[in-house]
Amino acid sequence: MAYIRNVGSRPRAVAATSSSMMPSVTQTRLHIIVLGLWISLFVAAMDTSILSTALIRISSDFRSLGSATWLVTSYLLTYNTFIMISAKLSDVFGLKLVMIVCSIFFLVFSLACGVAQTMNQLIVLRAFQGIGGSGLYSLVFVAIMKLITPEKVAFYSGIISSVFAVANCLGPVLGGVITDQSTWRWIFFINGPIVGTALIILWFSMPGLKDGKSIRDRMEGFDVVGGILSVCWPIPLIFALQEGGIHYGWNSPVIIATLVAGVVALLIFGFYEGWISYRTAIDAIFPIRFVTNPNMALLLGSMFLLGMPFVATIIQLPQRFQAVNYKSAERAGILLLPLTLMTPVGSMFGALLMGRKICAEYLLIFASAIVSIGVGLLGTLPLGVDIWPGTYGYQVIVGFGLGAASPVFYFLLHTTVEPKQIAVGTGALNMLRSLGGCVAIAICSALHNSTLRSRLPEVLSPEQVSRIEDSREFIAMLPPRLQKEVGEVFAESYNRQFQVLLGCACASLLVAIALAVVRKRNGLLGRLPELEAMRGAGTHGHAVELESTSESQPSAGSRVEAQEKMSGRVSEVELIGGGHTPTTASPPGSTRDGKII
């Protein structure tokens, strides 16, 4: 029987400490701060999707069409790797200071992207922009946890998380409108007034958080080496995957060297994080226990694999509409709406259904199957210029499946790791999803360029092929017959890309099934996070700890009641377009330090 046991007087002292560290702000001031945080998160979240409809125009202007996807992967690489680093830096130097620095960093490099003169310049500047964007993303949720009382965190997190639904829907359309009606450079210039507004709001409204510790004291547990290694290992791997077979042969020294360097750096990172996790008191960037825990390892693996179609679909579909169906950038953004609008609908469906009608594990299997079906159907689209009506239905299927899966990962996380590791685990999930997206885009780019180089010479002269590889605008100069044949080559390429993504989605489905089997074997199938969360009890001023025996399980009535409470809380937090949730370090004074038995 599971029951609750008070763990003595220590929780009261912790709770008091936590309470004393909570800044006192008026309701009006709090709303102003939340507005500033919402705006900051909005620009960071939108800066990937807004480029999806502008990639062809930007790369064509620079006569570097083959490097188009580097504008996305360079941003995601740094965005992904600095998420947890920036959150930990806020504990060292203070939340307000790091938030302001990240905002300025993002603002400066956004403007720099707008004046870039070469493709290589823009790619590098996008990488630096991603560092600022990752800080805005993670620190917004750190601020919510530190500035708002626990009983109101779910409500304000729901407000903040609505950013992703707006950004995913608005980004592609806005990017297309700007590209067609003005110049693509305004995609970056527009960040100036938006970030500037948020910067002013937060500068004057956000309080400083003091815990009485010196910077030297806070630096003692900071994983500096792990942070550096976490940045170093993905870069050569992504470079090799994206450039292999394009600018360098797969057996070339450059590709072999970068692949080996990436794998070696990954192994060093893993061994180092394992060493500090078990041998030192340093707070690891990535706790190695996540990998040694089968439940967590499978959860992370499923997120990584599902992140591949999640990111790649939003980036590749608008390019298909422009390259195959010859639609404008603006029209391509509108044609993507069935996908982006259905993602938050699916997220709502998953959050409301999960725990009431179906176990979270089974919902993840269902959602992964839906994504696999939708992605597979997108890989069978006709090769003609006209858009087949079924394309919209296929997008609805994919969007609904991706949305339904999003809240499940964070729901299961609460019964997979210790409460004190929830924040780090959330960050790890988001890092794996972004990394999966980076890998998928790199693979799609390599496959796309390989297909074009093998198939275009069959219908075009070498000079014509070279001009198309530099700029898509040359296609409009071709005779109608050649335009049709070139469009079919591009369509074949995109179909092959979605067939590869189908393999990733099916692999995610298999991992989801394995996760359900392992959790059932460990007695975690259908386990409710609400019961574990009661141990944290920072919300109620005292901590409790769960103990369980094999005598019995909670009654059906209590399970349903707890599930409904949990589902309501999840639905508040997960009203989002991309399933993003806080990727934060635990706030100082957190009382959620129980142990899962």
The per-residue pLDDT for range 276-334, each reduced to its tens digit, is 878 877 777 788 888 888 999 999 999 999 999 998 999 899 999 988 888 888 999 99
pLDDT exceeds 80 at position 149: no
**Residue for token digits 């998160």?**
41
pLDDT higher than threshold 90 for residue 186? yes
Query: How high is the pLDDT of residue 465?
Result: 83
Residue 157 pLDDT: 67
In the chain, where are the structural domains located?
302-451+495-580
**Mean pLDDT in residue range 425-433:** 81
Is the per-residue pLDDT at 479 higher than 50? yes
Helix H or strand E encompassing 396: helix 390-413
Q: At CA 13, angle to CA 10 and CA 16, rounded to 5?
A: 150
Span 339-360, average pLDDT: 82
Looking at residue 210, its pLDDT comes to 60
Reported as a pLDDT band with limits 50, 70 and 90, residue 374 is very high
For position 567, what pLDDT does the model report?
Answer: 43
- pLDDT the model gives residue 500: 94
Statement: the pTM of the whole predicted model exceeds 0.85: no
The bridge status of strand 544-547 relative to strand 3-6 is antiparallel
Q: Are 194 and 39 in contact (CB under 8 A)?
A: yes
Please name which of 94, 275, 306, 124 lies closest in space to residue 202, comparing C-alpha atoms: 94
What letter would DSSP give residue 388? P
pLDDT of amino acid 245: 67
Q: For 117-127, how does the pLDDT look when each residue is reduced to its tens digit (9 = 90+)?
A: 999 999 999 99
Asked if residues 114 and 189 have their Cβ atoms less than 8 Å apart, the reply is yes
Assign 530 a pLDDT band (cuts: 50, 70, 90): low
Asked whether 426 and 300 are in contact (CB, 8 A), the reply is: no
Please give the structure tokens belonging to residue 178: 């700007």
- What was the pLDDT predicted at 476? 76
Do 543 and 5 contact (CB within 8 A), yes or no? Answer: no
Where is mean pLDDT largest: 104-118, 282-296, 446-460?
104-118
Torsion region of 212: left, alpha or beta (phi above 0 gives left; psi -120 to 50 gives alpha): left
Residue 255 near residue 236 (C-beta atoms within 8 A): no
* DSSP states of 486-527: HHHHHHHHHHHHHHHHHHHHHHHHHHHHHHHHHHHHTT-TT-
Structure confidence at residue 153 as a pLDDT band (50, 70, 90): low
- Quick count: other Cβ atoms within 10 Å of Cβ 326? 14
DSSP state of 66: G
Coil vs helix vs strand at 418: coil
Confidence class of residue 173 from pLDDT cuts 50, 70 and 90? very high
Residue 252: predicted pLDDT: 83
pLDDT higher at 419 or 458: 458
Residue 546 φ then ψ, to 5°: -85, 135
The continuous run of DSSP H or E covering 98 comes out as helix 95-114
| 407: pLDDT strictly greater than 90 | no
Region 47-66: mean pLDDT is 86
Cα(539)–Cα(529) distance, integer angstroms: 15
Whether residue 391 is predicted with pLDDT greater than 70 in this model: the reply is yes
At residue 113, the pLDDT reads 94
Give yes or no for residue 141 having a pLDDT over 50.
yes
Q: What percent of the chain has pLDDT over 70?
A: 80
Q: Looking at the predicted structure, is the pLDDT value of residue 202 above 80?
A: yes
350 has pLDDT over 90: no
| 580, 403 contact by CB (below 8 A) | no
Does 583 score more than 80 pLDDT?
Answer: no
Structure tokens at 532: 């574990």
pLDDT of residue 107: 93
Q: Is 541 left (phi over 0), alpha (psi -120 to 50) or beta?
A: left
User: Domain 302-451+495-580 belongs to what topology?
Assistant: Growth Hormone; Chain: A; (1.20.1250)
Q: What confidence tier does 3 reach under pLDDT thresholds 50, 70, 90? A: very low
Instruction: Tell me the chain's radius of gyration from C-alpha atoms.
Output: 24
Q: 150-181 vs 27-49: helix axis angle to the nearest 10?
A: 40
Question: 218: Cβ–Cβ under 8 A, 6 or more apart, which residues?
Answer: 91, 92
Tokens found for residue 83? 């998420």
CA 244 to chain centre: 25
What does the mean pLDDT of the chain come to? 78
Residue 15 pLDDT > 60, yes or no? no
482-528 residue pLDDT tens? 888 888 999 999 999 999 999 999 999 999 999 999 999 988 887 77
Angle between helices 119-147 and 95-114 (to 10 degrees): 160
- Average confidence (pLDDT) over 556-576: 42
